[in-house]
Each structure stands twice: as structure tokens, then as C-alpha cells.
Amino acid sequence: MSLLYVLLGSALGGLSRYLVMSFFPLSPLANLLVINVGGSFIFGLLYSLIGTNEWRMLIFVGFLGSFTTLSTLSFEVFSLLQNSRYLLALLYACGSLALSVIAVGVGMWVGRG
């Protein structure tokens, strides 16, 4: 049954990512940053609120696993490096990670009320 929750969550997460990118036509780097930081906030917000394994599979593994992505972040940073934009690559990689970690913490803080 967990597989169905992951499949459903993945479909919804991928669709949500597409919709965010369509409604907010920013640069690829800005879109990715918004998606990853927003997904991190949602993770932190819901982490303490979701207790059952089924919901965790649906939200964390399925939805957020499909909505956010490390592979795309890695690709964008690598592309910047290939184009000799070393400082931007470093700032973007470190900034994305730092903002995502902060967003998880803020989400957990908000989720606890």
C-alpha cells in the first residue's frame, strides 16, 4: 500500500513543480531555488504534524521527493562551472543549501506553533 502513496505523491509533486515553474516564469536558477527552499519549508512545517507512515510516504517520499530535486541543482551548478562562472556556482550551491536548511528549521518552528 505504501507504494501507492509514493506513486500518488510523486505524481502530485511533479505536477506541482511544473505548475510553479509555469506560473512563475523565472530563470531556471531562480525557479529551482524557489522550489527547493519552498519544499524544504513544507518539509519542516509538516514533519512534526504527520504521524502515520502512509502520510509520510505520500508527503515526504512522494510529493516532496518529486517536487524538490538535488539532481537539477547539481546540474545547474555544474553548468555554471562549465561556463566558468565559478563564483556564481559557489554562491548558488552554498546559498541553496543554506536557505533550504533554514527553511526546514523555520517550517518546523512554525509547525510547532
Binding residues for Na(+): 65, 68
Find, among 28, 29, 31, 61, the residue nearest to 43 by Cα: 61
Residue listed under C-alpha cell 506513486:
7
CB within 8 Å of 101: residues ≥ 6 apart: 40
